[in-house]
Copies of this chain bind each other. A is one copy, B any other.
Amino acid sequence: MSTKIQKIGVLTSGGDSPGMNAAIRSVVRTCAYHKINCVGIYRGYQGMIEGDFKPMDARSVNNIINKGGTVLKSARCMDFRTKEGRSAAHKQLKAEGIDAFVVIGGDGSFTGAMVFNQEYDFPVIGIPGTIDNDIFGTTFTLGFDTALNTVVEVIDKIRDTASSHNRLFFVEVMGRDVGHIALNAGVGAGAEEILIPEEDLGLERLVESLKRSKESGKSSSIVIVAEGDKTGKNVFELKEYVEKHLPIYDVRVSVLGHMQRGGSPSCYDRVLASRMGVKAVEALLEGKTSLMVGIQDNQLILTPLEMAIKGHTKIDKELIRVSDIMTT
């Protein structure tokens, strides 16, 4: 089968993440290197269904390695979850002569790819592009490292003003189901407490801890809160709770929001994207399919999409302990 692949499509799907452009560039150039045609598919599966295609040669991806976002645009696509939608997509791909595709996105995008592969025996490879780092089969997802740097840089700024006024800040970061950003950025930013979806710290313990922190002479406190933290309270409710139960603090709130998805990718994410793009294309050329490229122990590995989707990443217990020790 591998000998038959002449034209590879590439798309970005779901929420965007820094490094997606670097991955697109890598897919395109690896195709060029192997004298294979490459076609950009715009707006994720929606563009696939609508035939929103554009041929891409090596020069078409000049100067995008350092750009945030995705030049191919991205979208969440309901239609691709239906048989009709996938059938339309398949027709468009056939009409364009596309033999295989690489999809850069998260687990929703991979589910679509896997089902499509099953239905049409169509070769697909996934690249994990999401800032949440919540994909099984890779230690790091594309964009996670950049998002962490964005978050700590912003919290460094918030710390400046927090210290100047001896204030307590609740800072909400992304992570509805997983606390990887909160935990890593929390340790990196020297947060006093970190609230994540995986663990219930308990509001009383939070108040106790903040009290201790104040008594120990700290000039400011930053509490990082993942969107989906286990206390069930959002940052505004947490502010109210603490103001009521610990009136010694002047409390402020900051919700970082979508800035976490943007920005020029870090060197790590650019290199990872470049490596993954090569691996994805070459896996297709070797006749492999329905796999996701991941990184483990600094080596690229391939994991069945099915496992990538069903598996769960675990929060790092050692890092939680480090976080506790750091707030001594």
**A interface residues, Cβ below 8 angstroms from B:** 12, 15-16, 18, 20, 25-26, 29-30, 32-33, 58-59, 62-63, 65-70, 73-75, 139, 145, 148-154, 156-166, 169, 184-185, 187-190, 216-219, 252-255, 257-259, 261-264, 266-268, 270-271, 274-275, 278, 296-298, 300, 318-319, 321-322, 325-328
Asked whether A151 and B278 contact (CB < 8 A) given A29-B325, A69-B160, A297-B297, the answer is: no
CB nearest neighbor in B for A157: B262
Asked if A156 contacts B59 (CB within 8 A), the reply is no
Please indicate the chain B residues that have their CB under 8 angstroms from the CB of A74 in the complex: 164-165
Given known pairs A164-B74, A262-B157, the reply for A326 and B66 (CB within 8 Å) is no
Q: Is the CB of B59 within 8 A of A325?
A: no
Additional pairs, 15, CB under 8 Å, beyond known A149-B149, A255-B255, A275-B322: A29-B328, A30-B325, A58-B216, A65-B188, A66-B159, A66-B190, A69-B161, A73-B165, A139-B298, A148-B267, A157-B261, A158-B259, A161-B261, A252-B258, A254-B259
Q: Which residue of B lies closest to A73 (CB)?
A: B164
CA distance A189 to B267 in the complex (A): 8
User: Which residues in B have their C-beta under 8 angstroms from that of A157?
Assistant: 68, 150, 258-259, 261-263
Distance between A141 CB and nearest chain B CB, rounded to angstroms: 13
CB within 8 A of A257: which of B163, B219, B254, B322? B254
Contact across chains for A16 and B188 when beta carbons are under 8 A apart: no
Q: Are the CB atoms of A218 and B62 closer together than 8 Å?
A: yes
Kindly identify which residue among B63, B153, B300, B318 contacts A159, using a CB–CB cutoff of 8 Å.
B63
For A254, give the chain B residue with the smallest CB separation. Answer: B257
Q: How many copies does the complex hold?
A: 4
Rounded to whole Å, the gap between the CB of A264 and the closest CB of chain B is: 7
Contact of A164 among B16, B139, B152, B166 (CB under 8 A): B16
Please provide the 8 A-B residue pairs with the shortest distance between their CB atoms, ordered closest to farther: A157-B262, A68-B160, A160-B262, A69-B160, A297-B297, A188-B267, A148-B267, A16-B164
Question: Roughly how many angstroms separate A75 CA and B163 CA in the complex, as a whole number?
Answer: 11
Minimal Cβ-Cβ distance residue in B for A162: B258
Which residue of B69, B190, B268 contacts A145 across the interface (Cβ within 8 Å)? B268
A258 contacts B254, C-beta separation under 8 Å? yes
**With a CB–CB cut-off of 8 A, which chain B residues contact A162?**
258
Q: Is the CB of B322 within 8 A of A217?
A: no
User: In the complex the two chains form, what is the Cα distance from A266 to B145 in whole Å?
Assistant: 9
- B160 contacts A261, CB within 8 Å? yes
A161 and B68 contact, Cβ closer than 8 Å, known pairs A259-B154, A298-B139: yes
A255 cross-chain contacts in B, Cβ below 8 A: 254-255, 257
**A328 and B33: CB pair below 8 A?**
yes
Q: Which residue of chain B has the shortest Cβ distance to A74 in the bound complex?
A: B164
Q: 26 A–B contact pairs at CB < 8 A? A: A16-B160, A16-B164, A26-B326, A33-B325, A65-B188, A65-B190, A66-B152, A69-B161, A73-B163, A73-B164, A73-B165, A73-B166, A74-B165, A145-B266, A145-B268, A152-B266, A152-B270, A156-B263, A159-B262, A188-B268, A188-B274, A252-B257, A254-B257, A275-B322, A278-B322, A300-B318
